[in-house]
Structure 1
Amino acid sequence: MKLATFKQGSEYHLGIHMEHGLLDVGAAAAAAGVHAPLSVREAAEGGEQAVDMLRRLQAEYGGNPQFVIGEEQAALAPVIPDPGKIICIGLNYLKHAEETHSPIPKYPILFNKFNNALAAHGEDVALPRSSRKVDYEAELAIIIGRTAKYVSEDDALDYVFGYCASNDLSARDLQGRSVQWLAGKSCDGFAPVGPYVVTKDEVGDPNKLAISCTVNGEVRQQSNTSDMIFDCKQIISYISQCMTLSPGDIILTGTPEGVVLGYPKEQQVYLQPGDVVTVEIEKLGALTNRIVAESSER
């Protein structure tokens, strides 16, 4: 099942992606007179019972145009607009570590982003005026579905709700000012996620997925999640030894080779206004954002 979040006015709504549009879950649940999750977070918290209810509504109302919104008319939002945590993993693909001449980490490198960094599929992302070196990073995102603390690697994927595509946009000049990467990673709009959360039953092994990034249609990154140094179950288990993971938390799992930072300096061309960046991951769809200049009014 593919779940999306869309906005009508100032309100967020849960949608189920289908070939002909998004099923408005709230409207379908009201018509059926049943309680159903009204956000991706609620669906994650509700577990299999919540997913079963969504499948029931999809079967009963998915063919009724009264409850379906065309995706071209829906204003998509970040798949989870209010995660409790956005945790990121650095230098987690072998070839990416090699291209940046970085030592192979002995443990997952953790850093974080905040909710201000979230952006939706199709949303413009503004280049901050404080940076001249904004880079793309195609990444697989994990959406946590159960409270996780001190979980084993063997059990770790049981705590996943689903997966989506993400882009860990990075201001390299800000990032390089100190050993802490936060300044270059947490700019507004620097964590596009979407367009959908795909439930884990439709994904299978998350470490066997093709992943790519294009800029203006030119392939910049093309790899597979099998190149991760620490795979998804290792990442979840490790983070859970450090902190409690909660339903709706987002984990960005690192990027493969091909980022601008990995090019020789004379060949580095960072993102410019007008660039269109697309991250595509097998089974999860394509996440596209246009890069724009930051407004002088901000």
Structure 2
Amino acid sequence: MKLASFSREGRSSYGIIDGANVRDIGAVLGAHAPTLKDLLAGEGLDAANSAAASATPIPLSDIAFEPVIPTPDKILCVGINYATHIAEAGLPRPEKPMMFVRYPDSQVGHKQPMIRPRESEQFDYEGELAVIIGKRGRRIPTSEAFDYVAGYSCYNDGSIRDWQFHTTQFTPGKTFPSTGGFGPWLVTTDEIPDPATLSIETRLNGAVMQKASISDLVFDVPQLIAYCSTFTILNPGDVIITGTTGGVGAFRNPQVWLRAGDTIEVDISGVGVLSNPIAAEPSD
């Protein structure tokens, strides 16, 4: 099952992708679960399936995609988590996951513009697998980690590189408004029992910039869930972004930065393609 958050005619909702349509589950369940995050925290995915038959189908061409989870309580990001990215950055293999955070207003949905802020010319792409939590948990063992996953999506952890490297703390370069892409939808775990079997590719204007198997993660999905749930409580709708592979613009020679008019795509097998145009923030 594929679930997307979207807006149409000024109203936000969510639904099940059904071919070229989305079935508006939010219109059926909105009194109890107005958002996809509320659905995960309450009635759960079974309720979405039950509501599908009576939900109105809307053409995908008539909606604006929102981030899969527009307002997650937490967006937990992992840095330096593929061997190829470790090598290109010239860094030692980490002993523990390198963590930082994003804020909800730093992300946009599928087909929505990612914005290069006027404070920087160093806007970089990072194609990543996103894990969406479906059940509250703390100190989750790796052997049970997949039980806490609602599904998976694509993420572009857009990075403002000079601000990222002002200090050793990455957060300033990761939280400028509308710099990250999240979508197009959540694919439930019944369709993806093991994300390690997937592959990821990032394309800039059609040219392949990054390509890897998800199995190349240094810390895999169960390890990340176990680690994150130790220092914080994971709640339904929380997002863990698992890291990017080699090929980012900052470590190319010459360097490659995102410019207005570009199109960046993150393609994960079994999930879908997240596509975002790039726009420049107005100067005033």
TM range (shorter): over 0.9
Deviations 1:133-181 (A, max 9, x none): 1110000001111111111111111111111000000111111111111
Count of residue pairs the alignment pairs up: 284
> In structure 2, which of residues 38, 45, 60 is the aligned counterpart of residue 42 of structure 1?
38
Percent identical among aligned pairs is 37
1:202 aligns with 191
Deviations 1:79-133 (A, max 9, x none): 1111001110000011111111111000000100101201010101221111111
In structure 2, C-alpha distance between the alignment counterparts of 1:54 and 1:169, rounded to whole Å: 31
> In structure 2, which of residues 41, 51, 58 is the aligned counterpart of residue 57 of structure 1?
51
In structure 2, C-alpha distance between the alignment counterparts of 1:98 and 1:296, rounded to whole Å: 36
C-alpha contact 1:36 1:53 (8 A) present in aligned 2: no
After TM superposition, the score normalised by the length of structure 2 is: 0.95
Code of the residue aligned with 2:16 in structure 1: it is I
Q: Secondary structure at the match of 2:244?
A: coil
- 1:113 and 2:102 are equivalent in the alignment: yes
In structure 1, C-alpha distance between the alignment counterparts of 2:98 and 2:198, rounded to whole Å: 22
In structure 2, C-alpha distance between the alignment counterparts of 1:252 and 1:88, rounded to whole Å: 5
Matches within 5 A, 1:59-74: 60-61=53-54, 67-74=56-63
After superposing on structure 2, the runs of 4+ consecutive aligned residues of structure 1 that deviate more than 3 Å are 26-30, 35-38
- 1:146 and 2:130 are equivalent in the alignment: no
Q: Secondary structure at the match of 1:165?
A: strand
1:6 aligns with 6
After TM superposition, the score normalised by the length of structure 1 is: 0.91
Matches within 5 A, 1:26-41: 26-28=26-28, 37-41=33-37
> In structure 2, which of residues 272, 277, 280 is the aligned counterpart of residue 290 of structure 1?
277
In structure 1, C-alpha distance between the alignment counterparts of 2:26 and 2:84, rounded to whole Å: 44
In structure 2, C-alpha distance between the alignment counterparts of 1:132 and 1:261, rounded to whole Å: 12
> In structure 1, which of residues 248, 252, 256 is the aligned counterpart of residue 245 of structure 2?
256
In structure 2, C-alpha distance between the alignment counterparts of 1:153 and 1:27, rounded to whole Å: 37
Code of the residue aligned with 1:55 in structure 2: it is N
Q: Secondary structure at the match of 1:72?
A: helix
- 1:93 and 2:82 are equivalent in the alignment: yes
**What is the Cα deviation at residue 76 of structure 1?**
1.1
Structure 2 unaligned blocks of 5 or more: none
